[in-house]
Every structure is written in structure tokens, then in C-alpha cells.
Structure 1
Amino acid sequence: MQRDAPRSWTMLAIAGPRQHGGNTGYLDSPKSVYRFDSGVANSGKVKRGDLVFIRDRDGLLGVSVIDHISSKPGEKVLLKCPECGKAKIRKRAGQTPAYRCESGHVFDKPAQSLREVVLYEAFYEKEFILASGAVTGKRLRAAAWRPNLQLSIEEVDASRIAEDVIEAAPQARYLLQNFFQSMAPESVAQDDDKGYMPQLGDRRQKVLATIARRRGQAKFRTSLIKRYGPRCALSGCTVMAIVEAAHIWPYRGEEDNHVQNGLLLRADLHTLYDLDLIGIDPRFILHVADDLKNSEYAHLSGLQIDLCAKPSRTAIESRWNYFKKNS
């Protein structure tokens, strides 16, 4: 049975004991393991392979993918007001009595009770990438699908913060790229005989989204490798870890994952192509925008692209016309 697509989460972690008003908290090791229990919202939804953004109260600490999750039965110590029994209590820094409940009662020692729970440990040290300060706490909360300040584990739209993370920690690029690829739809249009026609419309927003999300989905990429072979169409690079599936006409929907609407490009060349800093004319000659004339990419100008199969001519022409207007 196929596993559900991975999800992305923020997890609130604090080095050392994590203290909450209504329980005794956990011992966190932010770079390697996150501990929680079945009483925590979303605890049952977090799975192996999910993307996690580890944060403290100020912002992002790092990003990783969950390698495995362990579980065992255990007990959770719950704290409550000794007068009214309410669990919403706060520790008052530097004040006596030390605690206050939501009803206004103050006390030095909370009442305690035990609850049977499942104790979880999510391990992610293998792929952890430090990205301290890349995203503020406010930005992380804004990326949540259903923002809730009370949640320590919160599902987020990773595409809203991916660009900031990559800018601060470029090594996170491939981890995030692999995550977005794993979310690809199952079907890919690969019937060469039917051809491909680009869907016209506003493309600027889609271009920017493509760079951040890298929607060079896994099945689309596989179809391009079968068609063109395992190498970059421009540089000849065969290190497939850094060769991506690039859409000729930007992705607007599943129909754009047609094998004739794609090329395999090295990661840096993919970004330049998305930004229309390089272009391919209908004769399959590469052109470099004026902004790159004095760069290390200038030598690519005039390159004749040799492909064993041809992509959609309509897609190439449409994209070339856009390049000419904007380069």
C-alpha cells in the first residue's frame, strides 16, 4: 500500500527541559530528537519522512526530515491549580507565590496528577541542517495552514518559507527539493504522439513559485531521464543529484508535466532558465541575457543544444518569445 504524501511541520523545541504551565514538559535536543506524547495536538499525524522545521520562540533553528519515530507507553505529569483544579496555570517569574491560574488563584506548589500516554521520540539528526535565524517566529506562524499559537507541533506550507531557508542555508536546497518532488501527482502525461500545447496566461507568479518549490516532480523527472538520458541538456553534467526536471513552459497544472514540456538541467542552469536569464531559440541554440554577459555563464551563448529527442516546438517558441521580451 502506498504511503500518504509527506507533510511539513514546525516543532517548538527548547534546549534543556521544556516547561509548560499544565505539564512538566520534555527534554529536547533540537539538533537530533524531538520528544512529545499522544496528548499533544497533531501527535498522531507526524510520520517518518515528514519535513520538520525545528524552532524556538524566536524563530527557526534548523530543518530536517524525520528518519524514524519510536514510541512506548508512559505517564505524563499534569499540573493544576490546587484550589479550582484548572490546568491553565502560569509560572510568575520573580514573584511569590510562584504560580497563577486562569481564575486568578495564586500558589507556590501546583497539584499534580498522572495521565497514561504514548511517549514519542522523532529522530532527525542524519539530515539536520542548521538554519538559525533564517525565518522569524512570526513568519513561521504565518506559514501554518491553520495558525494556532497554542500548538507546539503545527502543520505548515513549506513553500512559503523554502526560499528564506535556502538563502540562509544553501545546503538545504536538495532536502527541500526532494520533499517537494515527493508530493508529485502520480500521473504524468507521456504520450509523444499527442504532443503538448502550452496553456497561456500570467506566468510570472508561477515562475517565482517554481523556483521556491522546485516542482520538478519525481515522475516527471523520471520520464525526462528515459527520454533524454541521465545528463544535463546544456552542460552535459551526469551528476544526477544536481540535475533537475525543468519545465519549458512553467507549471500551471498536471497537464504541464508532459514529457515534451521538459528538459533536464543542472540546478544552477535551471534557476537561470526559470528567471529567463538564459533562453533557447527554436533552432535549439542557447542565448544568454545581457545581465550575464560578463559572468561565468557568458561562454554558453551560442551553444548548439544536441538532444536525442526534441521537446514541443510550440513550448520552445512560446518560451523563446517571452525570453526575447524580457531579457
Structure 2
Amino acid sequence: MALYTGEDRARSGDLYDDVLGERYSWDSTVPNHATVAVGDIIVLWNGETLLGISALESIKTSSGVKDIHRCPQCQNTEVNPRKTLTPLYRCANTDCNFEFDVPVKEPKEVTRFRGTYEPGWVDMAGALSGRELRQLCVKPRSQNSFRELKWDAVHAALAGKGEALPLGVVEKTEKAIAGGHSTATVRVRRGQANFRKKLLDTYGETCAFSGPTPAVVLEAAHLYSYADTGDHNGGGFLLRRDLHRLFDLGLIAIRPDTLALDVATDVHGYPLYKCLHDQPLAITALSNKQRTWIATHWQMHREP
């Protein structure tokens, strides 16, 4: 699904509070508003170019009242404000084109949606032009903010650019969410002060994958499903934030037999990560419980 976003994105009134790379908001006045679901691959663009791709991790809904803006002359709702021209508004109805500064406001009960997609976000700004992306829509002439895409065609178009684009990150995230692991393996659980402190006391300021690292960028990584167990007892170690995400997504795993790192080919285009492939862990003295969870993680992400 292609989702249009921009600094001044609005529909018939209120601006939406999008944060590129993290969340996308909409409401029930948006055409096709109910066609997206958790786990869907989404493509963000601004009308001119592709911005990035991710998988929709969650959708939160709430009820509210929205002021619908209408043209004073024809009552059309396509009357979003202009950036520089005056009067501030011009009716988008080509049979009207009335210009005005104050729209008619009509309160309407709506359902609000906020979709989050940060875990699998891959910045692909400029990889495809707006024109190229439109041609990859199921309905290329659609003017809606939500447009169904031919994902296989998008994948092929990006591959045809000859660039090392990490689409595997997106697809891994999609599979993790579809398999019910979004809260278990993708989310970073911050605020676990005692658990993190215990790991710092045990390993010092050391990333288990890359070695000595400032504590400020180290996160407590679980080696088990916190969502399933509901507690912090069990395996864990400290990981640098970027490596934590790659581990959660299975793009970095640990071989249970040798305890060497296995970096998925999806990210071999990045020397920073490729150089970790086949390297030993930077920590020693793992418990049997930690080894058990390392094997479980391996089975989840490496074995069919």
C-alpha cells in the first residue's frame, strides 16, 4: 500500500501528525481508510519521490470529533489551505474554483487511526520517482492518499536500479509481525532499569556483538519472548541499538554450535554489518539458559 505523506498533509480540515520513519495517522474520512492492516508492507511517498518502506507494526484507534472544512459556495470538502497564495483557500471542485479565507466548518464524529512502523523502516528516499511509483499502483490514476501497490512489481523496480536496497529488513519485519512476534522480537523494551543494570554489572559496557561500547547506546536484549513469559528472568545481554534491531529481526543470529555471528545476506551491502559475519561473540561465560535461547532464536530465523 502506498501512503502519501507531507509536512502539510490534511483532509478537509485538521493536519495529521505524521512522523516520517515512525508513525502515520489518518481518520475515517480518508478513502480506503480500512484497507490497511497490521503486517502490511507500506510505501511512504510525498507525491514527488519514494521516501521509504516498512511493515505496519500496529494500528491504534480512537474516537474524536473533526471539523470538516467546506467551500462556502458549493459545499465541497476538498478545500485544504494553500501555502503562499491568497485568499488562503481555493475550492478543488473544477466547476467552482471559489477562493476564500474562511471555510465553513462542520463538526463530524470520526474514528482516528495511528499506525506505527518504526521497527522495519528503511529509508529509500529518491530510489523511485513519483511517476515511477504511480505506475506501480493497481490504479495508476488514483488520487487517493491510500493506493494499492503491486508489491512484486515494486520489488522488481527497486532491484532493477542496481542498488543494494535492504528490502529483506522490511520482509523480515512483515513475517515477524504476521507470525505474532511483533511484541516479542521487534520491540525494544526500554525502562527495564533493573534488568539492564544487572547486565551492565555482569558484562560492563560491552556490546555482545561489537565489543566495548558507551553505555548510553546499549540496550538490554532479551533472548526470549518477554510477551510470552511476562517477566525479565532468563537469557539476555547488551546490544548496541542498531544491532539490537537487526538481532530482533533475525538479520543477525548466533550459531548455537560455535557461538559465531551469522549476518544475513540482506545486509551484506553494509560493510559495518558484513564485517561481523563469522565473528565470535564479544562476551564469554554464557549460561545454559542463554545458550538454550540462542538456539531458539536460531531455529526461529534460520531453520525452515
Query: What TM-score does the superposition give when structure 1 sets the normalisation length?
Result: 0.49
- Asked if 1:114 is matched to 2:104, the reply is no
Alignment counterpart, residue 19 of structure 1, candidates 6, 10, 30: 10
SS of alignment partner, residue 96 of structure 1: coil
SS of alignment partner, residue 120 of structure 1: strand
- Give runs of ≥4 in structure 1 deviating > 6 Å: 180-183
**TM-superposed deviation, 1:132:** 0.3
SS of alignment partner, residue 52 of structure 2: strand
Q: Which residue of 2 aligns with 1:225?
A: none
CA distance in 2, matches of 1:134, 1:91: 30
Amino acid at match of 2:3: M
- Closer, same or farther: CA 127–104 of 1 in aligned 2, 3 Å: closer
- Asked if 1:157 is matched to 2:150, the reply is yes
**TM-superposed deviation, 1:159:** 1.3
Q: Which residue of 2 aligns with 1:72?
A: 62
**TM-superposed deviation, 1:147:** 2.8
Alignment counterpart, residue 89 of structure 1, candidates 76, 79, 94: 79
State the percentage of identical aligned residues. 25
- Closer, same or farther: CA 95–150 of 1 in aligned 2, 3 Å: same
Gaps of 5+ in 2: 179-254, 270-304
Instruction: Compare 115-124 and 79-88 and name the one that shifted more.
Output: 79-88
Amino acid at match of 1:54: L
SS of alignment partner, residue 152 of structure 2: helix
In angstroms, what is the RMSD of aligned CA positions? 3.2
1:71–1:119: 8 Å Cα contact kept in structure 2?
A: yes
Superposed CA deviations along residues 110-149 of structure 1, whole A, max 9, x for unmatched, are: 1111111110011000110100001111111111112343
**TM-superposed deviation, 1:240:** 9.2
| Aligned 1:23-42 pairs, distance under 5 A | 23-42=13-32
Q: Which residue of 2 aligns with 1:224?
A: none
> Which has the larger Rg?
1
Q: Number of matched residues?
A: 183
Gaps of 5+ in 1: 1-8, 184-230, 232-236, 244-266, 269-327
Alignment counterpart, residue 141 of structure 1, candidates 131, 134, 143: 134
Alignment counterpart, residue 53 of structure 1, candidates 37, 43, 47: 43
CA distance in 2, matches of 1:100, 1:123: 33
Query: What TM-score does the superposition give when structure 2 sets the normalisation length?
Result: 0.52
1:70–1:122: 8 Å Cα contact kept in structure 2?
A: yes
- Closer, same or farther: CA 163–75 of 1 in aligned 2, 3 Å: same
CA distance in 2, matches of 1:93, 1:174: 37
**Higher relative contact order structure (alpha carbons within 8 Å, sequence separation ≥ 6):** 2
CA distance in 1, matches of 2:4, 2:131: 13
SS of alignment partner, residue 27 of structure 1: coil
2:89–2:101: 8 Å Cα contact kept in structure 1?
A: yes
1:130–1:169: 8 Å Cα contact kept in structure 2?
A: no
